[in-house]
């Protein structure tokens, strides 16, 4: 049975308009008057009960001083942004492509636009592995086009399309809670008992028995082994994860039988991601977690202690609160390493992440490495005028003892400015202060006065003035 079709992106425009209106401090009557419509009609639009006409879209863009693409359906906007990054490659410089050209391509020929994106993605991966590709061709092995797509990219697209909300997994987790009656404060013993009733023994193994091994299930011996290096909360999470693989394998198979997951590797990786989702839903049951989230105003440390979850697990769970009628703040989430590589990303806030190049160095998630373990806040503004409130903090994985590697990564979490006051992290922060100008990536950012620019902007020719030295070779003073 196919999974339920995702909500159409256009249906989310009403909440976006409501958020923009509140962000500007306007009542429905005031905005309706400036748009030339009745307050009752605006109320229907914000409730997604009336469509937005093209003239209204234009007036809204003018009212909020936004690029029209900021009011475009999410899927169209995402594809437009992806293609703009594609055309940011120096390969396309002779053609002088503009953002308007790209948007018209997406609107008029979406399948062709996706085809161009997939072609470039194949080209990019082929370039990255040219030596290996040449060796395979010379050996007569041929070229597998599926090898040009990273499984992690396909899984990321799959999760993004679902808006990181899987109702069937939520229901499965709730059913498990009902059947087992876990202790909300101490779920670990209950999970161990659940395995024992299924004839599976749970044991803790020494590090010397399996260096680097955190969890191993032996189906023949009916034995689940967890590492002594895992803290209690991580052992609990691993138990719930393994339970998903054992009890809901058919559901995981059905959910991952998806057109975006084209290879066995991507489907296998998606199964792991969905098993993690189930584990989070078990440790942090939807209704109880959402109630705590609103009571504690998204204080991640308090939520982590209450639900015995790590900082990253709580951040992940916050992005899944998309149940219709019981939604949390729409967040974006990313995880990077100290070299700037993005290993995980998801966006419900509308912000975009680069696919083929580095992220903007002005994002506070990079600066988090300067203050390990501390929360950093930032008010940022994208080139289209949309403002975001973001937090960032490092986390260190410690699962190898004294001689083990203690890898450090940074987590970034953010939302549109209209939701900032709902977060405890905004207390004491002047929300009307000048925002930090940020972008997706240098080639797509039109700010010419940025001192941290690494490449010239896509839509402006590089001007080399040999008699003038600026703070950045690629930065030009606006107006010059």
pLDDT in tens, 147-204: 556 888 899 989 998 999 999 999 999 999 889 888 888 999 999 999 999 999 999 9
Exposure class string for 301-324: b at 16+ Cβ within 10 A, else e: ebbbebbbbbbbbbbbbbbbbbee
Angle in degrees, CA 233, 422, 425, rounded to 5: 65
- Report the C-alpha gap between 31 and 348 in whole angstroms: 25
Q: Which of 7-21, 133-147, 162-176, 453-467 has the highest mean pLDDT?
A: 162-176
Give the pLDDT mean for 455-467: 70
Exposure class string for 35-53: b at 16+ Cβ within 10 A, else e: bebeeeebeebbebebeee
Q: Is the pLDDT of residue 145 over 60?
A: no
Give the pLDDT mean for 210-226: 92
Which pLDDT does position 387 carry in this prediction? 93
Name the band, by pLDDT with cuts 50, 70 and 90, for residue 421.
very high
Residue 81 is encoded by which pair of tokens?
Answer: 């942004």
Residue 170 is encoded by which pair of tokens?
Answer: 């939520």
Percent of the chain at pLDDT exceeding 90: 47
Name the band, by pLDDT with cuts 50, 70 and 90, for residue 113.
confident
- Report the C-alpha gap between 342 and 359 in whole angstroms: 8
Task: Tell me where in the chain the CATH 1.10.10.2910 domain(s) lie.
Answer: 167-327
The model's pTM is 0.75
Which pLDDT does position 243 carry in this prediction? 97
Which pLDDT does position 9 carry in this prediction? 39
Query: 3-state DSSP: the chain helix, strand, coil percent, rounded to 5?
Result: 50, 10, 40
Which pLDDT does position 66 carry in this prediction? 64
More confident residue, 402 or 261: 261
Which pLDDT does position 406 carry in this prediction? 75
Is 3.40.640.10 the CATH classification of the domain at 167-327? no
CATH of 9-71, one of 2.60.40.2220, 3.40.50.300, 1.10.260.40, 3.90.700.10: 1.10.260.40
Which pLDDT does position 327 carry in this prediction? 93
Which pLDDT does position 197 carry in this prediction? 95
Which pLDDT does position 272 carry in this prediction? 97
> How does the average pLDDT of the chain come out, rounded?
83
- Report the C-alpha gap between 345 and 337 in whole angstroms: 12
Percent of the chain at pLDDT exceeding 70: 81
Which pLDDT does position 383 carry in this prediction? 83
Q: Is the pLDDT of residue 84 over 80?
A: no
Which pLDDT does position 398 carry in this prediction? 63
Q: Is the pLDDT of residue 1 over 50?
A: no
More confident residue, 198 or 211: 198
Question: Of 6-10, 37-41, 68-72, 328-332, which range is least confident?
Answer: 6-10
Which pLDDT does position 5 carry in this prediction? 38
């Amino acid at each position: 049975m196919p999974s339920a079709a995702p909500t159409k992106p256009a249906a989310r425009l009403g909440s976006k308009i409501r958020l923009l209106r509140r962000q500007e401090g306007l009542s429905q009557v005031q905005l309706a008057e400036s748009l030339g419509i009745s307050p009752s009609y605006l109320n229907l639009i914000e409730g997604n009960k009336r469509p937005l006409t093209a003239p209204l879209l234009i007036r809204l863009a003018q009212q909020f001083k936004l690029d029209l693409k900021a009011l475009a359906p999410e899927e169209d906007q995402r594809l437009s942004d992806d293609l703009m990054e594609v055309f940011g490659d120096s390969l396309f410089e002779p053609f002088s492509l503009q953002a308007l050209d790209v948007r018209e391509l997406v609107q008029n020929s979406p399948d062709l636009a996706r085809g161009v994106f997939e072609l470039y993605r194949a080209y990019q991966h082929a370039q990255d592995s040219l030596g290996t590709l040449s060796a395979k061709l010379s050996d007569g092995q041929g070229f597998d086009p599926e090898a040009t797509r990273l499984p992690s990219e396909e899984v990321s697209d799959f999760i993004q399309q679902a808006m990181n909300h899987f109702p069937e997994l939520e229901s499965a987790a709730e059913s498990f809670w009902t059947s087992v009656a876990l202790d909300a404060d101490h779920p670990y013993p209950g999970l161990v008992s659940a395995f024992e009733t299924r004839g599976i023994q749970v044991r803790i193994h020494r590090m010397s028995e399996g260096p680097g091994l955190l969890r191993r299930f032996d189906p023949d011996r009916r034995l689940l082994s967890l590492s002594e290096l895992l803290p209690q909360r991580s052992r609990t999470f691993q138990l719930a994860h393994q339970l998903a693989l054992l009890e809901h394998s058919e559901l995981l198979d059905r959910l991952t039988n998806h057109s975006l997951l084209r290879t066995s590797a991507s489907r296998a990786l998606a199964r792991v991601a969905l098993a993690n989702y189930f584990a989070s839903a078990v440790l942090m049951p939807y209704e109880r977690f959402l109630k705590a989230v609103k009571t504690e105003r998204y204080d991640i440390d308090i939520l982590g202690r209450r639900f015995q979850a790590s900082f990253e697990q709580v951040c992940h769970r916050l992005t899944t609160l998309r149940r219709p009628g019981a939604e949390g703040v729409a967040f974006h989430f990313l995880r990077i390493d100290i070299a700037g590589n993005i290993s995980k990303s998801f966006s419900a806030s509308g912000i975009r992440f680069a696919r083929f190049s580095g992220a903007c160095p002005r994002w506070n998630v990079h600066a988090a490495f300067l203050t390990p373990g501390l929360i950093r806040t930032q008010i940022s503004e994208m080139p289209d005028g949309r403002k975001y409130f973001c937090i960032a903090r490092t986390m260190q994985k410690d699962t190898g003892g004294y001689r083990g590697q203690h890898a450090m990564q940074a987590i970034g979490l953010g939302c549109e400015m209209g939701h900032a006051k709902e977060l405890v992290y905004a207390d004491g922060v002047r929300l009307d202060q000048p925002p930090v100008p940020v972008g997706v990536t240098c080639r797509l950012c039109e700010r010419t006065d940025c001192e941290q620019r690494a490449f010239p902007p896509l839509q402006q020719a590089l001007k080399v003035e040999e008699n003038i030295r600026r703070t950045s070779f690629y930065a030009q003073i606006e107006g010059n």
